[in-house]
Amino acid sequence: MKNAIIVHGKPTEERYNNPDFPKPHEANWLPWVGARLLEAGVDVSIPPMPRPFFPVYETWKEVFEMFGIDTDTGLVGHSAGSEFILRWLSENKHVSVGPVALVAPYCDEAGKYGDFSSYDLDKRLLGRVGKLVIFNSLDDSLAIQHYAYRLAAELPQSQLIELDGFGHFMTGNNMSNPEFPELVDELLR
């Protein structure tokens, strides 16, 4: 892996507009993981996605595709960022990438955010990724946990890593600090 793209999740609009909170691409474990990957010689991009509180797939795709994505690229998604990566990989069957990590994967099954989660999961995408690792916290919401288990079942060659005490993998939401060595280890392994 020569480069990595980390796609943040979906904050509430109130949190996003609150100056007391960092923007999603600067929050939680993302900068810490990015710094560790840089130390390991991996170029890292953590792009701010447009209007992250109401994700629109096509506008996120425009930002994401500004980066070179190939077999040397690792992809990391947090929450809605995981869903974005799954959809992008499912719709771009000609692209192969390096390791993929999905952290607390989110699915908008109710369609609250338009067609963001409207796609057919490519169940053969594991043939186009270096590996796929799904991180689930045993104290995240049941909806997130169920989706993580469903993905692991639908993509049986993926690796499900269950941790306890990480909540939705947000600093202050059970994670006491932004360090996430388990993710870095999986990406560099």
Burial degree of 169 (CB within 10 A; 0-12, 13-18, 19+): buried
pTM: 0.97
Q: Write out the chain's pLDDT in tens, 189 residues.
A: 999 999 999 999 999 999 999 999 999 999 999 999 999 999 999 999 999 999 999 999 999 999 999 999 999 999 999 999 999 999 999 999 999 999 999 999 999 999 999 999 999 999 999 999 999 999 999 999 999 999 999 999 999 999 999 999 999 888 989 999 999 999 999
Determine the pLDDT at residue 186. 97
d(CA 178, CA 171): 6
- Tally Cβ neighbours within 10 Å of residue 46: 18
